[in-house]
Structure 1
């Protein structure tokens, strides 16, 4: 039993992937933990809607096989990643062109050889939309691009973080990269990776994103984005996660909830989004956010599935609202019922009026087929989807505010799945150091029962 002063060692506010992964690290070390989530379900922004057998991500952030935390986070051992084809397809001047493809395994040398091989491909007539043609730029440009990807894949993170910091768009212009390579490859790629079409993101964060791209393969979780929080929650002791519990105030030794009154503890970890954390702790910085809209379609027409294969298709011409699109049922068949096609397309920034119509018109050009009879499954708009990382950006914002009060999430690190998991790792380590890595002196039931409200 715990001492009467405490009902649980650590209360974690928020059941997104940061809070759940921190809970797993704490419970594995013998720290009794309660995770409180105001929503009726765990997962936060990493949610997946089910519609007629389709699994539709609300935000659909891309992952990379090079993310270290995906391999080292307890509870994600059984996560299955479905990879896109190496590199990306760039739609430019009416044709699709593959570029930036690393070799299997994602080595820097493999990335260089792959791009050089593309650069040496013979230049034939422009293929029809949807077919792969010569890469953007000539052989010299492609060799330079391959060399740059190879170098950044081999660059230690510490060296990237020591570079001068400026907006990513400005940094690209100062590095001697040909303008056609910037506009034809780097700008659309970084906009996709950072959810930032204007490239106002810190150049250090942009370099880290390029490093991940050059070191691995872009991917999505099998079954939808919700699989990450679902696997993490499933790995916790039964009863650890409590949904439908709204925390109204926090202190170093307690939280107060609307449903259960005060809950006494030895430490509190805020694992909510940045705005919710600042509401509980006024004075915490709330960043700007990048809005993201995801439009999901299905069709009986096999043309888009054939044209795109398992590739991520980007619009280098910026000829419409779609930043990137993919036939996700080709990449992850579990996201669509048998024999059906799922096309998921992402709009960055403020969506236009009549976004579905605008997206259909744009997709018709990108896939080279009529979209009039496509069925719209869902349009998900998230105004505060991804925290902005404008310079100066601290990639390692403190997770320990006071002894007994901690905070984690993608707003304390990089605005990625890797950043959310890494910040949780840092927060759990800080809590274990403060409470004692051996766990609590008086071991408690790892699934404490919450009190009833008075």
Structure 2
């Protein structure tokens, strides 16, 4: 087979495989250190799972996702003003027993407290315990959370004293939607971290969609540094082989792909399993509500896990006079798209009446590799090593917390490991 060789700038060069958030973050830190790099991306754009599509003027994120402004790495890397963030109202609306109930954040929305205190979503004791939990997870440095005993999220909530009432009607749909895990078997370390992030900042959507985050990072490193439609078939020492047979010589390789692809390239099990989610988008002339808040399904037997109207949060998600509705379904990969669509509309009809019959289905995203499965025991070591061996590194949210923070932090650690090895090599040569 004819092998095409591509020569890269010398003396030091890294190839980053994957232009998702972790790969872009790694590139950003390498650029700051003066190390040259090229990013190889298998798809046609940057972002990985943090991408947005435009359909009929509507902005569709690839699965419902949000930016938590308290993420430390996001604060360091991103220009929030440039992203023109718009925020959700803290708290949620819970659909239970045929009605919608407000679950308020009394620290930031005290005016909603009365609505929350007397509704059937948890007992008064549960609502007082939420304040205690908030204090528990926000005290001390962030890293101290990772030193705590690991148990499942469900065990953590029960041990803290929460009733099954509030667990099933609020925590299960809320964090089941965050982790794509309605069983709440996800590590308590992940739960504590996520609860802290929600409590410490805003829950936001950028103008133009979540893909604006990825585009901003790409602009920081330079768009010319990314080569698209370049799928890597194999990595070897100091070389990367593409599907078309091209060979790229390099000094270092950073694998910044999702977990299963990283495992294939490295021939190592870097993550056990991934969790999936399905997201349906609808266009409507009239929104079923005007409040910028997340809607949770407190009826465990029903299909929909959560509903959001992104255009209520950030008007850029829909054309003028129109509204965008997002539906997330967790744990039902068995249903074909047509059956899923029909079942979701049937449930929505019971929530909002016949007006849903006028909603236009825009697109369904079936996201097979949504998040790493962090079922306990999972995060004995939250920040997992980036160095596979000298010259080969790995990053991604499967090497950290399953979040935007985890992806950015992991990318930074991969860059740091590469830089340390490069500096050690320079010192050895100099001596």
Using the size of structure 1 for normalisation, the TM-score is 0.85
1:153-187 CA-partner distances (Å, limit 9, x unpaired): 23433332222212212222222222222222222
* Residue 313 of structure 1: aligned partner: 295
1:75-124 CA-partner distances (Å, limit 9, x unpaired): 7773332211111111222222222426xxxxxxx36xx56x6555598x
1:16-66 CA-partner distances (Å, limit 9, x unpaired): 111112111111221111001122222222222221111111222232121
In 1, distance between residues paired with 2:116 and 2:23?
A: 51
* Residue 445 of structure 1: aligned partner: none
> How large is the Cα RMSD of the aligned pairs?
2.6
In 2, distance between residues paired with 1:439 and 1:212?
A: 40
Cα pair 1:89 1:312 within 8 Å, conserved: yes
Mark the runs of 5 or more structure 1 residues left unpaired by the alignment: 103-109, 124-132, 441-454
| Partner residue of 1:50 out of 50, 54, 74 | 54
* Residue 434 of structure 1: aligned partner: 421
In 2, distance between residues paired with 1:5 and 1:216?
A: 42
Cα distance change, pair 71–5 in 1 and its aligned pair in 2 (3 A): closer
Shift of 1:221: 2.6
Cα pair 1:409 1:419 within 8 Å, conserved: yes
Cα distance change, pair 371–432 in 1 and its aligned pair in 2 (3 A): same
Cα distance change, pair 139–391 in 1 and its aligned pair in 2 (3 A): closer
Cα distance change, pair 153–90 in 1 and its aligned pair in 2 (3 A): farther
Cα pair 2:151 2:377 within 8 Å, conserved: yes
Q: Does residue 333 in structure 1 map to residue 315 in structure 2?
A: yes
Shift of 1:222: 2.1
Shift of 1:246: 2.0
In 1, distance between residues paired with 2:78 and 2:417?
A: 17
Shift of 1:254: 2.1
| Partner residue of 2:95 out of 71, 91, 98 | 91
Cα pair 2:239 2:248 within 8 Å, conserved: yes
| Partner residue of 1:358 out of 343, 346, 357 | 343
Matches within 5 A, 1:246-325: 246-259=231-244, 261-302=246-287, 304-306=288-290, 309-325=291-307
Shift of 1:240: 0.6
* Residue 218 of structure 2: aligned partner: 233
| Partner residue of 2:36 out of 32, 51, 61 | 32
* Residue 68 of structure 1: aligned partner: 72
Shift of 1:259: 4.0
In 2, distance between residues paired with 1:291 and 1:135?
A: 30
In 2, distance between residues paired with 1:264 and 1:432?
A: 18
Cα distance change, pair 238–146 in 1 and its aligned pair in 2 (3 A): closer
Cα distance change, pair 437–24 in 1 and its aligned pair in 2 (3 A): farther
In 1, distance between residues paired with 2:57 and 2:167?
A: 40
| Partner residue of 2:392 out of 405, 417, 442 | 405
Shift of 1:401: 0.9
Mark the runs of 5 or more structure 2 residues left unpaired by the alignment: 1-6
Matches within 5 A, 1:206-217: 206-217=191-202
Flag as ranges the 4+ runs of structure 1 deviating above 4 A. 3-8, 74-77, 117-123, 437-440
Structure 1 SS opposite 2:240: strand
Structure 2 SS opposite 1:268: strand
Identify, as 1 or 2, the structure richer in helix.
2
Q: Does residue 11 in structure 1 map to residue 15 in structure 2?
A: yes
* Residue 196 of structure 1: aligned partner: 181
In 2, distance between residues paired with 1:376 and 1:430?
A: 46
Q: Give the total of aligned pairs.
A: 416
